[in-house]
């Protein structure tokens, strides 16, 4: 009986360590593991070498509907949907695997990381609670995030109808749009 609890605790510590390395906030660790807050704070300090950040989690679902965040969030949620549909990976393990694939995808395509692990975790919660949903674009047929109460029958994604201020960064707008368009369309067409 005692060995089983030691193994279980070891798995919880391993999960918490992986979450910290991916950038999860303390609240995510508390919701995803059975370890006490004190142990999680201690583990966080050991892994990161600093105390966990204080404050509330980013809560607004509106953040996911902005042009660039929507492209990255749509990419992530399509990866997550694929994993949960075609594998036996579920819950926090599915979020971890999806986020790792998201990171690989943006690295290979030389994109800026927009979606933090905590935001990705919140995104899954928003989709599961039906605050946000995925709908296909009528032009490219890619699946993109929208508010669940939005009219979805004529949805045109941010790649097919790029907002005038989209991509106003240090890189030229057309370059940003082209790179993101290719990368996101490939992933969202799953």
Distance CA 95, CA 154 (A): 30
Distance CA 16, CA 23 (A): 11
- For the stretch 16-29, pLDDT in tens is 999 999 999 999 99
Q: What is the pLDDT of residue 153?
A: 82
Asked if residues 155 and 143 have their Cβ atoms less than 8 Å apart, the reply is no
- For the stretch 74-121, pLDDT in tens is 999 999 999 999 999 999 999 999 999 999 999 999 999 999 999 999
- For the stretch 118-168, pLDDT in tens is 999 999 999 999 999 999 999 999 999 999 988 778 899 988 988 877 666
145: enclosing H helix or E strand: strand 143-147
């Amino acid at each position: 009986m005692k060995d089983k609890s030691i193994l279980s605790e070891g798995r919880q510590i391993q999960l918490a360590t992986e979450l910290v390395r991916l950038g999860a906030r303390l609240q995510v660790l508390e919701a995803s593991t059975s370890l006490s807050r004190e142990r999680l704070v201690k583990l966080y300090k050991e892994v990161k070498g600093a105390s966990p950040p204080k404050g509330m989690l980013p809560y607004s679902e509106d953040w996911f509907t902005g042009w660039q965040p929507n492209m990255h969030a749509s990419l992530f949620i399509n990866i997550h949907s694929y994993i949960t549909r075609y594998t036996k990976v579920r819950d926090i393990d599915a979020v971890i695997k999806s986020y790792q694939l998201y990171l690989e995808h943006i690295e290979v395509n030389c994109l800026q990381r927009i979606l933090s692990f905590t935001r990705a975790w919140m995104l899954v919660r928003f989709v599961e609670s039906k605050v946000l949903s995925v709908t296909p674009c009528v032009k490219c047929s890619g699946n993109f995030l929208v508010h669940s109460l939005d009219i979805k029958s004529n949805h045109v994604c941010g790649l097919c109808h790029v907002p005038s201020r989209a991509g106003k960064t240090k890189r030229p707008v057309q370059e940003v749009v082209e790179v993101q368009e290719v990368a996101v369309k490939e992933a969202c067409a799953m």
